[in-house]
Homo-oligomer: A and B are copies of this chain.
Amino acid sequence: MTKLRVDIWSDIACPWCYVGKARFDKAVQQLDGKVEVEVRHRSFELDPHREPGDVDAVVPMIAKKYGISPAQAQANEYKLGDLAKAEGLAYRTEGRDHGNTFDLHRLLHLASERGLEAEAWKAFYIANFADEASVFERERVIEVAVAAGLDKDEVVAVLDDPAAYREAVRADEAEAAALGATGVPFFVIDEKYGVSGAQPTELFAEILEKAWGEKKPALTTINGADDAEACGPDGCAIETPPQA
């Protein structure tokens, strides 16, 4: 078949996902015309146990989590900012927020159903990592989702109904766990190769080419009932019943 399926588990709050996706995209671009790729974004929450309204500033949160000084934590953000910039991505190194991303994932599943998956992931990444406004504010979330092409009423309805797409998010997370993924980004190429982390573009290109080369060229034909009940350019197979 024509396209190589790539599942990418990520979180909007995950800087390595943001950077890794850009590196992956470059690999796909390098292989343009040689390898055709179809990406599916899958949900993974970094901080699933955090309460929805519980939002921290990134730098003190990191300092506390790693037991390092705020200056060290801030330096980490600068380093991430440099790596992001190296991939052509805007990155706001100061004043970012961190929170629960469950609602964002539910909206991202709505976007997938509406054919806007790539647009919505991109919009929320930029909103979280590059824009001034915090993506952990309801009005901002609605704004970003609508700018990505979603219908405002649908977005509000999903946000107002905690059950909407809950199972879809949970199913993605269960599958990640079943595949042994403990962190993100986690890439699965052609349901076959698992790649963890924001690997270099070259590695993504290599594995995409490998998987592409291995795609089965031919089908196994299943022989079923003797009379193939099918239609073709010459008409539909059907025996003419005896004349009455």
Residues of chain A at the chain B interface (Cβ within 8 Å): 1-2, 7, 11, 13-17, 19-20, 46-47, 62, 65-66, 68, 71-72, 75-76, 79-80, 112-115, 171, 175, 179-180, 182-186, 188, 191-200, 203, 207, 215-216, 219-222, 224-225, 228-238, 240-241, 243-244
Contacts and interface: CB of A to CB of B under 8 A. Distances in A.
30 contacts: A1-B175, A17-B231, A19-B229, A62-B235, A65-B234, A65-B235, A66-B235, A71-B243, A75-B241, A75-B244, A76-B240, A80-B238, A112-B115, A114-B115, A180-B221, A183-B228, A183-B230, A183-B232, A193-B219, A193-B221, A193-B222, A194-B222, A195-B222, A195-B224, A197-B225, A197-B230, A198-B230, A199-B225, A200-B224, A203-B225
Nearest to A241: B75
Contacts of A230: 16, 20, 183-186, 196-198
Contact of A231 (B2, B11, B75, B180): B11
User: Which of A1, A180, A182 counts the most B-chain CB atoms under 10 A from its CB?
Assistant: A1
Nearest to A203: B224
A197 B231 CA distance: 8
Count the copies: 2
Contacts of A2: 171, 175
Contacts of A15: 231, 236
A147 B81 CA distance: 48
B237 A225 contact: no
A203 B229 contact: no
Contacts of A72: 240-241, 243
A192 B175 contact: no
